[in-house]
Structure 1
Amino acid sequence: MSEIIKVKSLLSRVEVKEWKSVFAGIVFAFLWSSASTATKIGLVSAQPFVISIFRFLIAGSIMLFVSHIVLGNRMPVKREWIQISIYGFLNITFYLGLYVIAMQQVSAGLGSLAVATNPVFIAMMSAFWFSHRIKFKNILSLLLCFMGVVMAAYPLLQNSYATPFGIIVLLISMIAYSLGTIYYSRVNWNGLNILTINGWQTILGGVFLLPALCATYESDKNNFDTSFWTSVCWLAIPVSIGAVQLWLYLLKSNPIKASYWLFLCPIFGFLIAHFIMKEPITFYTVFGVILVISGLYIVQKKSKS
């Protein structure tokens, strides 16, 4: 009888863990895909680099306060500062700096769709970088995702919801993010806490962006109104902190299953943009999302085998 009770208790704990993962995955996908719409709202009131600097300052300060003051984690030392600086330049300055520029000229839904293609870029770039053989599945997944983005963008280009320049900058920003991810995964962090790494790379990435802000700043184009602060606070706290921590939780629980939650991002992204920004959802949108999800499924299926 005691063995039966133990088995039931174990099954109950497993079930609770599964439900936690499902809840975390859904919330992650919603928060991650909401970044595009939040950015579009902020751009109504301020220049892109102004939004970015405030976002990074708030998010980085909160993470460092929790990491060093609340949790008492150690500071980075010696070479770790260089590693964090490189990661911050790729993941914050380059990626998010270009991303916020692109969002001036593409729809929020399209921005979410492009972000969801990152696993494909990472898989392809890893193969090139480390001289791995590129399989047919990798090429097929990249083609499907590319076709999906083009398909979803087609009616948006016609209706001024996107420009070719915006799409190009958006894709370059995805490449920058993929480079940052690969770099992060290959570096030895010597047990440095993830919150410390994220906090300092966010702050340093913002510092590296300051010259661009100074060169482009125009005071009459920035209104620090409700829309601005709503956008910045949402991007800083729920997205930069909340979504990232949920993603790390999902990766720790099951890296393969975690990647599948990216499939929800394009769906949530277009729905959020439709209801908040009144962006259109057409046959092209639906078919483009299906192509991207198919491409993501192929590359994730490959990683499982």
Structure 2
Amino acid sequence: MFRNKYKWIFSGLVFAILWSSASTATKVALTVAQPLVIAVTRFGVAALTMLVIAHVLLKKPLPKGKEWKQLLIYGLLNITIYLGLYVFAMQQVTASIGALTVAISPVFISFISVFFLKKPLSARIIFAITICLIGIIVVAWPLLGGSSVTVPGLVLLIASMLSYSIGTIYFSSKNWEGMHLFVINGWQTFFGGLLMLPVALLTYHASMNQLTFAFWGGTIWLALPVSIGAVALWLALVKQDVVKAGMWLFISPIFGIIIATVWVHDTVSIYTVAGLILVLTGLALSYTRLNVRAPLK
């Protein structure tokens, strides 16, 4: 796919920008709508788009047998729990903190694999995840106690990343029989959103939702450029060179903070810079130990 280094760099930059923009887009939509209204709409649009591409345009076969169960479990972990908790957490943390936390997901995955895949727990991984978490706390520290960052919000954010990590490990441990990415991602997104729908309906309050440009702009951005575009670019990068592709994950928190600063006016302070440096250091320390996989988001 990449005939020269310029296409590689361009694709990597676009991926990093799209991937890191999710927290800001979520914050924008949250100004006018309830978390689960945003989530269910996002997943509905993303799932419909991917399933039409997979089964109508590409003529890919439907899942069969045990694959339906695998997709349901994966959707529960990777959509219902992970992104359900994430969108609630984003009500109580800044977009910058959200972007930093998502960026360290490979470190979480490496740590969780110790318990689920019985991999050895190295001192490097313990040190890396400790530094990354300290980095997030440093960024959040001056804002704690106010309305922009709360302890429950940080707890929800970390819990969401744990679910994402478990979901990624589950995905990696299953045989998908060569199933196309859009089939996997489309159906797991559909099931994840479907499982979330009853709670969304029970907690829905019409007065708390205004279907303005902020709602549709933020939600459609999450559904298409992030859930579909970023994943497609990531897979193309990984296919070309899995090690070099991982480097684009390192710069995503930088773009995340820049986007949050420009679009939703997050404050950049010495704490932000120090926390970012710590997170990047933690990622660099863990890099040689990470098994980079596609971020299905």
Q: For 1:237-263, what per-residue CA distance to the aligned partner results, in whole angstroms no more than 9, with x for missing partners?
A: 101110111111122111222122111
Report the equivalent of 1:204: 191
Pick from 142, 161, 178: which aligns with 1:155? 142
Distance 1:150 1:85 in 2: 34
SS in 2 for 1:75: coil
SS in 2 for 1:192: coil
The answer to whether the aligner puts 1:248 opposite 2:235 as a matched pair is yes
Q: How many residues align?
A: 291
Q: Supply the AA of the counterpart residue of 2:247.
A: Y
Q: For 1:118-152, what per-residue CA distance to the aligned partner results, in whole angstroms no more than 9, with x for missing partners?
A: 01110011122222221111111011101101001
Pick from 238, 241, 245: which aligns with 1:258? 245
Q: For 1:221-280, what per-residue CA distance to the aligned partner results, in whole angstroms no more than 9, with x for missing partners?
A: 011111111111111110111011111112211122212211112111111111111110
Pick from 151, 156, 168: which aligns with 1:169? 156
Distance 2:216 2:118 in 1: 45
Q: Supply the AA of the counterpart residue of 2:244.
A: K
Distance 1:78 1:201 in 2: 15
**Structure having the larger proportion of residues in helix:** 1
Instruction: Flag structure 2 segments of 5+ consecutive residues without an equivalent.
Output: 292-297
Q: For 1:32-83, what per-residue CA distance to the aligned partner results, in whole angstroms no more than 9, with x for missing partners?
A: 1111111111011110000001100111101111111111001000100000
Q: Which moved more, 1:121-130 or 1:145-154?
A: 121-130
SS in 2 for 1:217: coil
Distance 1:131 1:302 in 2: 15
Distance 2:263 2:228 in 1: 22
Report the equivalent of 1:190: 177
The answer to whether the aligner puts 1:64 opposite 2:47 as a matched pair is no
Distance 1:84 1:153 in 2: 35
The answer to whether the aligner puts 1:297 opposite 2:284 as a matched pair is yes
Q: TM-score, normalised by structure 2?
A: 0.95
Report the equivalent of 1:129: 116
Q: Summarize the alignment of residues 208-219 of structure 1 with structure 2, pairs less than 5 Å apart.
A: 208-219=195-206
Report the equivalent of 2:26: 39
SS in 1 for 2:226: helix
SS in 2 for 1:133: coil
The 8 Å contact of residues 21 and 256 in structure 2, kept in 1 or not, is answered as: yes
Distance 1:53 1:303 in 2: 32
Report the equivalent of 1:112: 99
The 8 Å contact of residues 42 and 228 in structure 1, kept in 2 or not, is answered as: yes
SS in 1 for 2:156: helix
Distance 2:248 2:173 in 1: 23
The 8 Å contact of residues 256 and 300 in structure 1, kept in 2 or not, is answered as: no
User: Which of the pair has more CA radius of gyration?
Assistant: 1
The 8 Å contact of residues 251 and 258 in structure 1, kept in 2 or not, is answered as: yes
SS in 1 for 2:92: coil
Cα distance, 1:158 vs. partner?
4.8
Distance 2:202 2:246 in 1: 38
Distance 1:232 1:153 in 2: 26
Q: For 1:91-121, what per-residue CA distance to the aligned partner results, in whole angstroms no more than 9, with x for missing partners?
A: 1101100000000000001000000110111
Q: Which moved more, 1:246-255 or 1:71-80?
A: 246-255
Cα distance, 1:159 vs. partner?
4.6
Q: TM-score, normalised by structure 1?
A: 0.93
Q: Which moved more, 1:154-163 or 1:206-215?
A: 154-163
Distance 1:160 1:283 in 2: 20
SS in 2 for 1:24: helix
The 8 Å contact of residues 106 and 290 in structure 2, kept in 1 or not, is answered as: no
Distance 2:249 2:262 in 1: 21
